[in-house]
Amino acid sequence: MIAETGLAALWLSAALALLQAFAGLGSWKSASPALASLTRPVAVAQGALCLLAFGCLLWMFAVTDLSVLLVASNSHIDKPMIFKIAGAWGNHEGSMLLWVTILTLAGAAIALFERRLDAQTLGATLFAQSLLALGFFAFLLFSSNPFERLNPAPPSGAGLNPLLQDIGLALHPPTLYIGYVGLSVAFSFAVAALLTGKVGPAFARAMRPWVLLAWIFLTLGIAAGSYWAYYELGWGGWWFWDPVENASLMPWLAATALLHSVAVLANRDALRAWTIMLALVAFAMSMAGTFLVRSGILTSVHAFAVDPERGAFILTLLLLYVGSALTLFALRIGSVKEGKQFTLLSREGGIVANNIFLSVILAIVLMGTMAPLVAEAMGDKISVGPPYFNKATVPIALLLMLALMVGPLLRWRRDDKARLKRLFAPAIAAVVAAVLFAISSPEAGFWPILALVLSAGLGVASFLPLFGRNLLRTPLPIWGMVIAHFGLAVSVAGMAAESGWTTEKLSALRPGETVSVANWTVTLEDVAPVVGDNWVAIEGRLSAKRGNFTALLKPQTRQFSNPEQQTSEAALLTRWDGQLYAVVAPISETELSRWQVRLWWKPFVTLIWFGGGLIALGGLIALLGRIKLPVRKKNENPWVSA
């Protein structure tokens, strides 16, 4: 009965979404108090029922109910419990149910917490949110039912892709989905603002916490996905410009631009139309990412669906939502009043430059990701890989770092060149870094050294907004900005160091033989079989020595039986100045006296993810500052002045 209960809850939730759409529409059009009072409880009940449906799915995976087709196809009785549960969203149907669950919970959160919205605006927002939900309910109920029964039930189940049986990827999809769906809230706010004509600082202040929340989770999701690919796939890299990686990066780029644009609108009443457009584009990128990952039109370790028919359904939703929103934008943007003016040399000017660079990078990534798909649809085949993306995006990203150094130091509205004298300290840091790296390690190449130079400058410039302030009285959003910008400098420094100074050594070793990589001496001590919960493996034991320090690394090559698949489990030795990365594999099925040992020394590579964590922390601190203010001013209605 659990499957039937989940399906019934899903149908009831869909029915409430339809009711919410009518109530929200009526509330917006007629300002009816009765309809306005109906939208809030309906939205909350809809979220609760959808959560119940997803809870039923989790339960069926936890107990391995093989009478359900989705469980039988994506789980196995021998899997560890954490991966049984993660299997609930490690497939097409479950991941889409998670998507719509987060979407409806976001609608419930709007109904519960946005008490400052007038009834008309709340109705329009929940109307837009319910239309989004209805499309995905239709997709689940008519095309991808996660509760479909299987008769007779198989004895064990097909299992889950072994690459997905990792704690990093178990947590990665929910984190990323919260970010994707969080942008749906910004989309609904933007649509409501266009419908009601209330585009102004108050609208921006109401939308900003939701954008921040989505951006934080997107940042964490991308960083976690990058680290998972780094340690789980065994290829030694942290970003490959895989189409699915790009699918998460594109909404992050748009959300970052939106976050800065909405700050201008909230603080200085400028960039009205641009902010609305970015809110629509950010959600469009989320939908595009969902389509790329779930349609089966591309091949990736992240892509789970191979059903073009269901991909067409998602593409239809994408075109319907984004097309309708852009049409509404074209029809209503003329009625939106122009915002206040500013000079080029101002905080607003810096943020506009920031937005332009982010938008250019977004366009480059979008074109590079879609080009092979478009070419294939036209009967041709092309490949777009890291050389294109690196050459096209790195120069723009470095210009973006320059904008980040200057922008936060400028005053709102207008400023003068004398203000730029504050860049003296970052400039000194950059010059010192340039001289140091050019003399000590010129072999790293131009771009890594330039990136490190700019990182040094941005790292110092990040803290200048605190100069002259009482640190105890500095608003949390300022602290958040400082930490996030510093985190970007740290992350870019890690990327540059890893790119410029990584050392690799590939060897065929017998037990007892030694090889050197960078300033490490590594000896293959032994290779032995080991057994896990649902896999067997050969495990290499490598002693790594540098100076007086010695450590033992245990890389594995695992063999899973359900389904049959081999994976590499890299061993990582983390030191203050980098990571030693080791992979061991058989040379062939017949050659058992020697083993393939691949070693990398990656200087300061951990700064990439540490910086990502700082960026997300900065966003969290800013969010706390933003939600603290409305609590203090809870009796004010920000929409009144819009």
Residue 632 predicted with pLDDT over 50:
no
Burial group, residue 631, by CB count within 10 angstroms (0-12, 13-18, 19+): exposed
Compare 120 and 641 and report the one with higher pLDDT: 120
User: Quick check: 631 pLDDT over 50?
Assistant: no
> What's the token pair of residue 74?
């994506």
Least confident of 124-133, 150-159, 190-199, 391-400: 150-159
Span 269-291, average pLDDT: 90
287, pLDDT greater than 90: no
Cβ neighbourhood burial of 151 (10 Å; 0-12, 13-18, 19+): exposed
pLDDT tens, position by position, 208-235: 999 999 999 999 999 998 998 898 888 8
Ranking 3-17, 250-264, 550-564 by mean pLDDT, the lowest is 550-564
Nearest of 224, 300, 390 to residue 292 by alpha carbon: 300
Asked if residues 498 and 604 have their Cβ atoms less than 8 Å apart, the reply is yes
Which tens digits make up the pLDDT trace of 101-140?
999 999 999 888 887 677 788 889 999 999 999 999 999 9
Written as six digits, the tokens of 448 are 């890594």
Res 642 pLDDT > 50: no
Report helix, strand or coil for 151.
coil
Q: 3-state class of 571 per DSSP? A: strand
CA distance 283 to 181: 8
The length of the chain, given as a count of residues: 642
Question: Which residues make Cβ contacts (< 8 Å) with residue 157, sequence separation at least 6?
Answer: 64, 66, 71, 72, 73, 74, 75, 76, 77, 562
pLDDT at 636 (0 to 100): 42
- Residue 334 has phi, psi (to 5 degrees) of -65, -25
- State pLDDT tens for residues 5-52: 999 999 999 999 999 998 888 887 776 777 777 888 999 999 999 999
Is 539 in a helix, a strand, or coil? Answer: strand
Q: Which residues, at least 6 apart from 381, have a Cβ–Cβ distance to it below 8 Å?
A: 372, 375
3-class secondary structure per residue, 280-348: HHHHHHHHHHHHHHHCCCCCCCCCCCCCHHHHHHHHHHHHHHHHHHHHHHHHHHHHCCCCCCCCCCCHH
309/593: higher pLDDT: 593
* 311 against 246, higher pLDDT: 246
CB 537 within 8 A of CB 569: yes
Whether the Cβ atoms of residue 169 and residue 82 lie closer than 8 Å to each other: no
* Residue 442 pLDDT: 81
pLDDT of residue 635: 43
On whether the CB atoms of residues 266 and 273 are closer than 8 A, the answer is no
136/316 Cα distance (integer angstroms): 11
- pLDDT attached to residue 296: 62
The CA R_g of the chain, rounded to the nearest whole Å, is: 26
**Residue 309 confidence (pLDDT):** 67
pLDDT confidence of residue 637: 39
DSSP string, 109-141: HHHHH-TTS-HHHHHHHHHHHHHHHHHHHHHHH
- Report whether pLDDT(633) > 70: no
How far is CA 223 from each of CA 17, 103, 343, 582, 609, rounded to the nearest angstrom?
34, 23, 36, 21, 6
What pLDDT, on a 0 to 100 scale, did the predictor assign at position 628?
62
Nearest-angstrom CA–CA distance, 175 and 167: 13
Retrieve residue 69's tokens: 């087709």
User: Measured between alpha carbons, how far is 307 from 298 in angstroms, rounded to an integer?
Assistant: 11
461-518: pLDDT as tens digits? 999 999 888 898 899 999 999 999 999 999 999 999 999 999 999 999 999 999 999 9
Packing angle, helices 201-232 and 607-632, rounded to 10: 150
- Is residue 555 within 8 A of residue 571, CB to CB? The reply is yes
CB atoms within 10 A of CB 167: 12
Asked if residues 466 and 482 have their Cβ atoms less than 8 Å apart, the reply is: yes
Reported as a pLDDT band with limits 50, 70 and 90, residue 297 is low
Residue 629 pLDDT level (bands cut at 50, 70, 90):
low
Average the pLDDT over 585-613 and give the result. Answer: 91
- Per-residue pLDDT for 634 more than 80? no
In 465-592, the DSSP E strands lie at 503-509, 514-517, 520-531, 535-546, 549-553, 556-561, 564-569, 571-575, 578-586
Question: Residue 612 CA to chain centroid, in angstroms?
Answer: 11
Per-chain mean pLDDT for the chain: 88
pLDDT score for 615: 97
DSSP state of 423: G
The pLDDT > 90 percentage for the chain reads: 54
Q: Is 540 left (phi over 0), alpha (psi -120 to 50) or beta?
A: beta
pLDDT above 70 coverage of the chain, percent: 94
Mapping DSSP to helix (H, G, I), strand (E, B) and coil, where does residue 199 land? coil
In whole angstroms, give the CA distance from residue 249 to residue 231. 20
**pLDDT, tens only, 315-349:** 888 889 989 999 999 998 887 777 788 888 889 99
HSE at residue 307, side-chain half, CA atoms within 13 A, is 12
Tally of CA atoms within 13 A in the half-sphere of 225 that contains its CB: 24
Q: How many CA atoms lie within 13 A of 419 on its CB side?
A: 16
What is the pTM assigned to this prediction? 0.91
pLDDT for res 499: 92
> Hey, what long-range contacts does 299-304 have (CB within 8 A, 24 or more apart)?
300/242, 300/243, 300/244, 301/161, 301/163, 301/233, 301/242, 301/244, 302/225, 302/242, 302/244, 302/245, 303/244, 304/90, 304/91, 304/92, 304/95, 304/161
**CA–CA distance, 285 with 187 (Å, rounded to integer):** 11
Q: How many CA atoms lie less than 13 Å away from 484 in the CB half-sphere? A: 24
